[in-house]
Amino acid sequence: MEKVRILVVDDEESLCEILKFNLEKEGYEVDTALSAEEALTMNIASYQLLLLDVMMGEISGFKLASILKNSKTTASIPIIFCTAKDTEKDTVEGLNLGADDYISKPFSVQEVIARVKAVLRRSKQEQQKQNPSNIIRYEDLVIDSNSKKAGIKGQTITLTKKEFELLWLFVSHPNVVFNRESLLEKIWHNDVYVIDRTIDVHITRLRKKIIPYDKQLVTRLGYGYCFEI
């Protein structure tokens, strides 16, 4: 089972390390950034939750949240503000920006962990309502495992059985690299007649059919393929 990835953004390095240590003890995968500017250089779309301070450098936590909520790739990521700005006005502003929770400093680590679990639980329930397990959506790309159909902007893509299975595998596991051996096992079920060139041909054909998302089906030289978001 893949770990939930959390990004902590706070200009207090010691606090970042405390949160990272304790959240990792709970089984989460945690990265830190000491400024909003640093966070924006990272692949924020790969995280399932953000913990943001408000008062940071040139770009505040509020500004960072606004940027993320206005981007299709990051708009749905839950945000918890952890900040010393604790007036009612500050809290209302944070929640109006789309934050899922607002924790005032000083706080206990256990309180943060409890809030994190609650927000992730609500987020998972909301995703299940919006995206039944048989349907995967990424921006304008929709894949339906029941009908075995895929489409972009409402236009059906004509895929072979293997192309559909590859697309479903890649998009349902974003940023996960699959090597040739795992693809042979999962898609071709270790068919002894399948050669490496067969996989390459299928990937090439699939890329041509999923434009403009073809560039996200990337090759990791020496490792395999992944759908990068």
169 is written with which tokens? 């595998």
Reduced to 3 DSSP states, what percent helix, strand and coil does the chain have, rounded to the nearest 5? Answer: 40, 20, 40
Average pLDDT over residues 145-173: 92
Q: Which of 31-40, 122-131, 157-166, 198-207 has the lowest mean pLDDT?
A: 122-131
Q: With contact defined as beta carbons under 8 Å apart, do 42 and 114 qualify?
A: no
In what helix (H) or strand (E) does residue 51 lie, and over which residues does it extend?
strand 49-52
| Higher pLDDT pick, 3 / 30 | 30
Res 128: pLDDT: 64
Residues in the chain: 229
Average pLDDT value for residue range 174-192: 83
Report pLDDT for 225: 93
Structure tokens belonging to residue 228: 């990068």
pLDDT mean across residues, the chain: 89
Residue 1 has pLDDT above 80, yes or no: no
Q: Is the confidence at residue 86, as pLDDT, over 90?
A: no
pLDDT band at 193 (very low <50, low <70, confident <90, very high): low
What is the rounded average pLDDT of the residues 137-153? 90
**pLDDT tens-digit profile of 124-144?**
877 766 655 688 888 899 999
Answer with the residue of higher pLDDT: 90 or 39. 39
- Tokens at residue 217, please? 């089906």
In the sheet with 149-152, reading across from the earlier edge strand, the strands are: 135-138, 141-144, 149-152, 155-157
pTM to 2 decimals? 0.58
pLDDT for the residue numbered 192: 54
Give the span between the Cα atoms of 216 and 175, in whole angstroms. Answer: 9
> Distance (Å, rounded) from C-alpha 97 to C-alpha 79?
10
**What percent of the chain stands above pLDDT 90?**
55
List of residues 6+ apart from 127 with CB closer than 8 A: 76
What does the alpha-carbon distance between residue 16 and residue 10 come to, in Å, rounded to a whole number? 6
Average pLDDT over residues 217-225: 91
pLDDT at 204: 93
pLDDT for position 95 = 82
User: What is the distance, to the nearest Å, from the Cα of residue 5 to the centroid of all Cα atoms in its chain?
Assistant: 8
Mean pLDDT of 115-130: 82
C-alpha distances (whole Å) from 7 to each of 20, 24, 33, 40 are 9, 12, 7, 11
